[in-house]
Structure 1
Amino acid sequence: MKDDEKRFLIIDDEPDMCWALEQILKHNDIVSSTASNAGEALALLETNRFRFQMAFVDAKLPDIEGLELARLIRKNNPYIAIVMISGFFYKDGDEVKEALKDGTISAFIAKPFNNNEIIKLLSCC
């Protein structure tokens, strides 16, 4: 990996969702890594410290809730932009509003999403 290369982490237990996000990122010259659960994600973050600029985190993972994972990521990686992606929560829901307000997450995207919603977020990193 080049030092100036953008690298994003996709954390979702749905392989099709990981694939879709990977394709969007790839077409925008961004390298991505995927994890299907929190354990895999935290291991990738630990071994690639300071390498990820953004993490897409599914709200419902098999081993932990997405917002709890976002808190763990934020605690150890305060520099990373965290985007919650969910078909379960809504942007105007209390939990999401609080997480946006306190900086746990940087943005929220509802599933199913429009590719342009993802592309718009890429400009921040």
Structure 2
Amino acid sequence: MDKLRVLVVDDHPLFRYGLSSVLAKDSEIEVVGEEATGGTAVSAAARLRPDVVVMDLHLPDINGVEATRRIVGEDPSVRVLMLTMFDDNDSVFAAMRAGARGYLLKGSGPEELVRAVQSVGRGEAIFGQDIAAKMITFFAAGPQRPATAFPELTTRELEILNLIARGESNSGIAAALVISPKTVRNHVSNIFSKLQVADRSQAIVRAREAGLGDQP
């Protein structure tokens, strides 16, 4: 049987090396590449065509959620397993909306990690025990604030992005939030930088794709 081809993405060299070593010990897995940034992960996935990408959430340049969205958008057959220290609801659901097939915490043991990679490689959805418990609690609690596809944004930045997606101008946003136009401009600049977009129109497209911009 062909080995499962795995691409490992993490910006911490020692952790990336340890993770690759753990996976490479399994007879059913072949680590075909390692990357340290979201941008290089997207390029490597297109070049190496792995079966599974083990992806960190917070990466230099573009984050793991955006990298996942681009990788899966380019090749839906690639399965992404998020491996991160962050287990907040927004991060989990943002990763799922981007196309990830699993979500594990970095504290997971080697055996659990190998099983998760194998399961995701078979097309299954996999969640660590802690994550699964949080998801059960989340849904049992009933309707809540929708998870955002932009966990890197602050609450205020997300609020402003939502208004941008509605077509509001900077002056309109300033009036709606009772803040100065200069403050709005600073927030907008930070939003564009974090989302890696060049202008307002690109930001609107990204925001509306994520479900933002609906009128209250």
Same fold flag (TM > 0.5): yes
SS in 2 for 1:109: strand
1:115 and 2:110 matched: yes
Amino acid at match of 1:65: N
Q: 1:10 to 1:107 in 2, by over 3 A?
A: same
TM-score by length of structure 1 reads 0.83
Q: Give the count of matched residue pairs.
A: 118
SS of aligned partner of 2:83? strand
Identity in percent? 25
Q: Residue 36 of structure 2 aligns to which amino acid in structure 1? A: S
User: In the alignment, what sits opposite 1:56?
Assistant: 54
Q: Does 1:34 align with 2:13?
A: no
Higher RCO (C-alpha 8 Å, min separation 6): 1
Measured in 2, the distance between the counterparts of 1:58 and 1:19 equals 13
Correspondence 1:99-110 to 2 at 5 A: 99-100=95-96, 102=97, 104-110=99-105
Structure 2 residue runs of 5 or longer lacking an equivalent are 122-216
* Distance in structure 2 (CA, Å) of the matches to 1:59 and 1:98: 10
Q: What secondary structure sits across from 1:85 in the alignment?
A: strand
Tell me how large the CA RMSD over aligned residues is. Answer: 1.9
SS in structure 2 opposite 1:123?
helix
Which letter does structure 1 place at the counterpart of 2:92? V
Partner of 1:22: 20
Helix, strand or coil at the partner of 2:39: helix
Alignment partners' CA distance in 2, 1:68 and 1:36: 15
What 5-or-longer segments of structure 1 have no aligned partner? none
35-44 or 59-68: bigger deviation: 35-44
| CA–CA separation in structure 2 for the residues paired with 1:119 and 1:47 | 24
Q: Identify the structure with the greater strand proportion.
A: 1
In the alignment, structure 1 residue 81 sits paired with structure 2 residue 79: yes
* Mapped contact 1:109–1:117 kept (Cα < 8 A): no
Residue 59 of structure 1 aligns to which amino acid in structure 2? L
Tell me, what secondary structure is at the counterpart of 2:114?
Answer: helix
Structure ID, larger Rg: 2
Write the distance in 1 (CA, Å) between the matches of 2:4 and 2:118: 11
Residue 60 of structure 2 aligns to a residue whose secondary structure is coil
